[in-house]
């Protein structure tokens, strides 16, 4: 921001120029806050089976976030195309592993019973 405002002479103009980056950083901050809360909840869980499910859900959240922003990460050389494909494969693996817990996870979110007839939730 300082460099941009020095070059442009106007802080608001510099802020507007960097709008895409500011938006990305704001979203990343919120994802970090959510992740910290998720991890704290997992630490407080004393049931090993539930904790395992929550760990998988947390990993899925993190990997999906990275995958959704993979273009940004690749553009700024923070991730390679090979690593991006590996993240995608890990997401698929986690979804497959989590399949048996799909219904309990959805029920835990308080989804109305009439919505639970989706084919993806059936055994």
Tens of pLDDT along the chain (123 residues) come to 667 666 666 777 777 778 888 888 899 999 999 999 999 999 999 999 999 999 999 999 999 999 999 999 999 999 999 999 999 999 999 999 999 998 888 788 887 877 777 777 666
Are 70 and 84 a contacting pair, CB within 8 Å? yes
Q: How far apart are CA 63 and CA 91, in angstroms?
A: 7
Cα pseudo-dihedral 28, 59, 105, 117, rounded to 10 = 80
This prediction's pTM: 0.77
- Residue 8 has a pLDDT of 62
- Residue 5 has a pLDDT of 67
Q: Is 53 exposed, middle or buried (0-12, 13-18, 19+ CB in 10 A)?
A: buried
- Residue 55 has a pLDDT of 96
């Amino acid at each position: 921001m300082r460099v941009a405002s020095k070059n442009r002479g106007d802080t608001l103009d510099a802020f507007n120029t960097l709008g895409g980056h500011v938006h990305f950083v704001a979203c990343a901050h919120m994802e970090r806050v959510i992740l910290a809360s998720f991890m704290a909840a997992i630490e407080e869980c004393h049931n090993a089976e539930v904790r395992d499910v929550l760990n998988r859900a947390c990993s899925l959240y993190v990997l999906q976030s990275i995958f959704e922003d993979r273009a940004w990460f690749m553009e700024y050389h923070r991730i390679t195309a090979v690593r991006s494909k590996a993240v995608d494969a890990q997401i698929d693996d986690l979804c497959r592993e989590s399949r048996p817990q799909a219904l309990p996870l959805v029920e835990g979110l308080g989804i109305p019973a009439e919505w639970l007839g989706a084919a993806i939730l059936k055994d």
